[in-house]
Structure 1
Amino acid sequence: PVSGDTLLRMIHSAPLPDFVAPTVVGIDDWAWRRGQRYGTIICDLERNCVLDLLPDRNADSVARWLKRWPGIKVVARDRAGLYADGTRCGAPDAVQVADRWHLLNSLGDALRHAVGRHRHNVAAAVQIMASAQRPKTGSSTAPPGLAQLRADRKAARRERWDEICRLREQGCPTSRIAHLLGVDRRTVQRWLAAGGEPEHSRPYRPSHLIGPFEAWLEARWASGCQVGQQLWRELQQQGYTGSRVTVARWAADRRARADAGGTVQPHLTWKAPTRRRCAWYLSQDPDQIDAEARLFLGHLFAQAPELATAADLAKRFVSLLSGSDIAELDEWITQAANSELKSFANGIARDIDAVRAAITTSWTTSPVEGQISRIKAIKRQMYGRASYPLLRRRVLLAA
């Protein structure tokens, strides 16, 4: 048997393996602590092995590393500008390749932001879909108390958005706005990117806490006790541990069914898609989504023709990435610059050479993502001892 300190000394004293001078490398970031601190991983894409771990995510660090290996010809990377700058300084003759997955991910983000800017048009399209189904499924009007609560919360979000706009016009950075309003900085960034406050719509989900007491609740309801507050008090004596609001919501749903004669279900109306799902609809061919989604898109495009243009541009960009012809890329950028995808198109224009290389070459950072997953596993094994020198040696020795 040996002690833990002995094993650590053996790892620190073990010689690091030599590797063949790389010509094609992939660069990406890995998280020390997600959202707060990041490092950089560099891999040999031809041999699928880790070449080095850098302790930070910095253009100068990447440039210094690349200068040590002048034979590098291709650098595949994500869309981070600092890696592009580091590659230009450290390997100016290398071909930079933008990763295709990151391009598609950025496209998805652009579509979600576009949907967010047209959220009122989305709500109108959802209302049309729900109205078309209402004769079949009946009304699902919320009880007055719940409707008032939703209205109050919506008004509070509107006031907060107005305050964000006022502070933004005064030149306050997002971090200062977040501090003044007592919210997270990312919340401010999301609201500014979306162009307004979010529209929260909670889908109906039966409570798993209510389930075991359904029979008891139905019996008490039939006996005449139909007040949520009273039901909640009595239910606590039966062992119920949930909140009063959950019981009140059950009572409101039960009352709505009773008002409708007990023959309809108030929550069978068409479910509104999330912003992410709506953006996914925009990126798909019509024959790849169901009939209801196609009908919803028809209503949405009638309300917001700009989204129809964005959807067409998104599909064209996906087809460009899937092919090998770069002749249409410049035309696509010109058209997208006047659409809801303007910000995304400007980013493509700034990184045009790397995007062209992504279309014409097969290099990608997918192997790097696999190595990042392995780093996560090693970090979990090293919980409490994951210092940079030890983590770097373990990753390189395992490579």
Structure 2
Amino acid sequence: MAAFSHLSSVTVEEVVVDDGLMIFSARTATRQAVCPGCGTVSGRVHGGYRRRLADIAVSGHRTVVDLLVRRFICPAQECGRRTFVEQVDGLTKRFARRTASLHRTLEKIALALAGRPAARLAAHLSIPTSPNSLLRMVRKLPDEPVGTAPRVLGIDDFAFKKGHVYGTIILDMETGERVDVLPDRTAETLTAWLRAHPGAEIVCRDRASAYAEAVRTACPDATQVADRFHIWKNLCEAVEKCVLAHRACLTEPTETTQPDRPEQTAARNTEDGSTDLPVPAELEGLRAVQRRERHAAVHALFSKGVGISAIAEALGLDRKTVRRYAHAATPDDLPVGTGKHENRVQPYLGFLHQRWNEGCTDAVRLCGETRTLGYRGSERTVRRHLQTLRASGQPAPTVSQELTVRQATRLLTSTGPPR
């Protein structure tokens, strides 16, 4: 049968099925073997032993080949091997505990799904193995030589060690296959690779200036485009900037509230540090200059391959700030903060105030009821907010249903990126 073609070169003596396990008892049929050290043919048998090889499952049963092999004596005096064990082509290898067909099957599963997902599928197919064994198989596979670059080339960075060591991965965007991995993300390394592998017509990359410079230098005729993720990210940031500039439109004024004069609004915004309305041109100019200077300083180091932590230490900035500047191609691409931190309890203030006015003042009980509505904050946050109501001695005020900048941005971009 074709399913057992790899057993055609051995003699199967018995097949035993026991508790989901199928065991093939077999022995080799050859009388001579070739020494792997010197290539001399030997017919002198030294002894033998049994090898248990895991094989591809049959009808949902785990399969084991219990094979009796022989050890031969090498007749060549100059050979360093005194004895050697015969190997069956297509079935056994030195020190292997799986048949060649099972090894090839597990390699394909590991290449498609990697560690844990591949191990779960292998267990479902009755060929169980560990995730680490599958990853070792992938690592032992030889790298295919890279010739010309694919027509549509994808370039992005990834972390060997997050915040410290980064590399560059190069993909074929039409097939989704990995082409090569570079040890860093500098423009010089990518330029050398592109010159050694010509042929790219379209380069799909992120917003890193180092990649843009490398493509312009090595492939001046190639068309550079942003990948789908960064296009969607750019759109979300542009929408957030637009919503932030018109934030005053999100709050509907009540009838009892008189609108402030422009100078009062500007003074209040300056005092509390918020950015609900545009700030004066002088302050905006200073911030823009500082933003451009920081962006240039960060990219001057980032393009040379300096890590985020090293840049933050050299410039005296926070790592998150440096990462934000490093991932922005231009100063205008930097996301603008709202100036206010949204509280997790904010969306549930209406419910809390309603229950407070109904007579429920127990913070533990109110926190439990709020959690049923989706609240994921701490009980301390709820208790801290209720302390203000308890100290005032007055009924809780009605909470106006106003949209925050983040909520408005989410509503405008909630359709998701194109698939």
TM-score range normalised by the length of the shorter chain: 0.3 to 0.5
Q: Give 1 or 2: higher strand fraction.
A: 2
Q: TM-score, with normalisation over the residues of structure 1? A: 0.41
More helix by share: 1
Structure whose CA Rg is larger: 2
